[in-house]
Amino acid sequence: LSGTIPPQLGDISQLQELDLGSNSISGTIPPQTSKLSQLKNLRLNDNDISGTVPSQLKNLP
């Protein structure tokens, strides 16, 4: 996969696992990801993501 993480990803309220590792994703992590309240596992390794992790995302289970 290539491109950016779409802000609409935050609308998938029941998402529990997201593995986007080892792709060609660039840009920042959209703040809308903080709405993923059921997210338990997030993998973004080996991409070209820049910026900081949204503080709200650090508080998810």
Handedness of CA 53, 56, 58, 61 (dihedral sign): negative
Low-confidence ranges of the chain (pLDDT < 50): none
The two tokens of residue 49 are 């993501």
pTM value is: 0.86
**Amino acid 49: pLDDT:** 97
**Amino acid 39: pLDDT:** 92
**Amino acid 59: pLDDT:** 76
Cα separation, 2 vs 11, in Å, equals 20
